[in-house]
């Protein structure tokens, strides 16, 4: 590629299973730069198959950051990710003009490239009380409470992510207002420019791809991976129900199978169903951001040509 503007980040986003990893590697190799993951689950060392972490060959093709870099016992959120990501980008930009940011966690991408809204401090007693009730009553209780107390967030937010549900609930109980009312979307200054690209497939094609991916994950040993995590948790006296990272599609359902709540066939079917629902929520999030330019995942040339025009 020709000479480009300095400190330019290229975001490659889109729903799960659409082909973001392959496109990010193609772009990073063309720009001779590095990749920063914006996936809130691929950062965990203990999770590999179920989060579709890039394989050894893919990781060897281009330097990656925020992949298998942290433990599931560390609690991550968008604010921490933004701080971490900006440090990584500073290091990348010290050596390269561009950086590639890839992932399907929309809030992480927003936090890194635009900053987060300032939400009022919540009452610590409320936070502690909610956490205790969640640990006793589980995810169903938490979802029901958010649906009752903050229906606006429940209809537009990530309802399978306990960390975000807890946050929404503590804010509405502390302030009497939906967390959405504090989200003004004011862009904070950044030391880099951002170009946003998203990948899209026809819905039915994506559904087929999701189902095949889930079946492949099971063949690759996803159940064995979950059992291995369970052994580690037992050794540490921890429950999967209280660890945010494990409320992830593909893990939660198999933990429920191990506890006898689902048959294996039911668990696999639920993984497919929940993955399709997650992909739909991802599409809704990214489609709201008009800065994204959309491409078919097979249109590598189109993506590279578009990037060249924008950053030259």
CATH of the domain at 28: 3.40.50.300
Percent of the chain with pLDDT over 90: 82
**Is residue 171 a contact partner of residue 182, using CB atoms and an 8 Å limit?**
yes
16 is in an annotated binding site: yes
52-57: Cβ within 8 A, 24+ apart: 52/16, 52/17, 52/21, 52/213, 52/217, 54/21
260 is in an annotated binding site: no
The helix (H) or strand (E) run that includes residue 310 is: helix 300-311
Per-residue model confidence (pLDDT) at position 185 = 66
Q: pLDDT tens for residues 246-298?
A: 989 999 999 999 999 999 999 999 999 999 999 999 999 999 999 999 999 99
Tell me, yes or no, whether 1 lies in a domain: no
Average pLDDT over residues 165-180: 93
Tell me, yes or no, whether 203 lies in a domain: yes
Q: pLDDT tens for residues 158-169?
A: 888 887 899 999
**Choice among 74-83, 102-111, 207-216, 270-279 with the minimum mean pLDDT:** 74-83
Tell me, yes or no, whether 206 lies in a domain: yes
Reduced DSSP (H G I as helix, E B as strand, rest coil) percent helix, strand, coil of the chain, to 5? 55, 10, 35
Structural domain of 257: 8-116+191-311
16 is written with which tokens?
């799960």
256 shares its domain with 164:
no
Q: How many CB atoms within 10 Å of residue 245?
A: 23
When divided into structural domains, the chain yields a total of 2
50 is in an annotated binding site: no
140 is in an annotated binding site: no
- Say if residue 3's pLDDT is above 70: no
251 shares its domain with 145:
no
284 is in an annotated binding site: no
Give the model's confidence band at 157: pLDDT under 50 very low, under 70 low, under 90 confident, else very high.
confident
Q: pLDDT tens for residues 110-124?
A: 999 999 887 777 888
**Is residue 105 a contact partner of residue 39, using CB atoms and an 8 Å limit?**
yes
229 is in an annotated binding site: no
pTM: 0.84
212 shares its domain with 92:
yes
275 is in an annotated binding site: no
Tell me, yes or no, whether 2 lies in a domain: no
19 is in an annotated binding site: yes
Here the CATH number for the domain that contains residue 161 is 1.10.20.140
């Amino acid at each position: 590629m020709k000479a480009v503007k300095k400190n330019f980040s290229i975001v490659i986003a889109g729903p799960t299973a659409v082909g973001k990893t392959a496109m990010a590697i193609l772009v990073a190799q063309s720009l001779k730069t590095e990749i920063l993951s914006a996936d809130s689950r691929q950062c965990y060392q203990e999770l590999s198959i179920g989060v579709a972490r890039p394989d050894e060959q893919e990781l060897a093709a281009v330097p990656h950051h925020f992949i298998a870099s942290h433990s599931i016992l560390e609690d991550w959120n968008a604010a921490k990710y933004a701080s971490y990501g900006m440090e990584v980008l500073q290091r990348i930009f010290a050596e390269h003009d561009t950086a590639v940011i890839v992932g399907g966690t929309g809030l992480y991408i927003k936090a890194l490239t635009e900053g987060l809204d300032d939400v009022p401090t919540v009452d610590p007693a409320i936070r502690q009380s909610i956490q205790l009730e969640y640990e006793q009553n589980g995810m169903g209780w938490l979802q029901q409470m958010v649906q009752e107390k903050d229906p606006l967030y429940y209809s537009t937010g990530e309802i399978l992510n306990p960390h975000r549900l807890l946050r929404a609930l503590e804010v509405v109980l502390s302030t009497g207002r939906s967390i959405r009312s504090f989200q003004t979307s004011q862009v904070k200054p950044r030391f880099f420019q951002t170009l946003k690209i998203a990948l899209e497939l026809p819905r039915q094609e994506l559904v087929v791809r999701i189902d095949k991916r889930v079946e492949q994950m099971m063949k690759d040993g996803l159940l064995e991976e979950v059992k291995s995590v369970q052994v580690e948790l037992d050794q540490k006296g921890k429950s999967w129900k209280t660890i945010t990272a494990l409320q992830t599609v593909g893990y939660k359902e198999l933990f429920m199978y191990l506890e006898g709540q689902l048959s294996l066939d039911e668990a696999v079917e639920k993984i497919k169903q929940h993955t399709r629902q997650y992909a739909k929520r991802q599409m809704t999030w990214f489609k709201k951001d008009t800065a994204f330019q959309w491409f078919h995942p097979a249109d590598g040339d189109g993506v590279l040509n578009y990037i060249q025009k924008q950053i030259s």
